[in-house]
């Protein structure tokens, strides 16, 4: 068929789809570079208290941001 095309092997893989679309609440510590907030599509806080600053973060990005954030146990953002 003329309309058929090749797709990457994990195109229909549910784990792959969920890892790209799932967001988790992460708490960022004081000293997190402002560039990280830009990459997350949010404005960097002027001040971060001891509770940290919560931002919804793409699941696939969490491991790379490990030095700056912890995954929050609750999904509600303040």
pLDDT tens digits, 11-21: 777 777 777 78
Residues 19-38 have a mean pLDDT of 90
Q: Give Cα 56 distance to the centre of its chain.
A: 6
Average pLDDT value over all residues in the chain: 84
Taking alpha carbons only, the member of 13, 14, 1, 59 closest to residue 69 is 59
Q: Tell me the percentage of the chain whose pLDDT exceeds 90.
A: 50
In the chain, where the domains are located: 22-71
CA distance 43 to 39: 10
pTM of the complete model beyond 0.75: no
pLDDT level of residue 74 (50, 70, 90 thresholds) = low
Contact 16, 60 (CB under 8 A): no
Between 18 and 52, the more confident residue is 52
What is the structure's pLDDT at 78? 46
């Amino acid at each position: 068929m003329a309309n058929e095309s090749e797709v990457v092997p994990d195109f229909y893989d549910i784990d792959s789809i969920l890892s790209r679309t799932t967001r988790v609440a992460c708490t960022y510590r004081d000293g997190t570079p402002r560039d990280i907030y830009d990459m997350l599509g949010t404005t960097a806080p002027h001040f971060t208290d001891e509770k940290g600053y919560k931002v919804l973060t793409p699941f696939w990005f969490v491991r790379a941001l490990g030095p700056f954030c912890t995954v929050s146990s609750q999904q509600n953002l303040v």
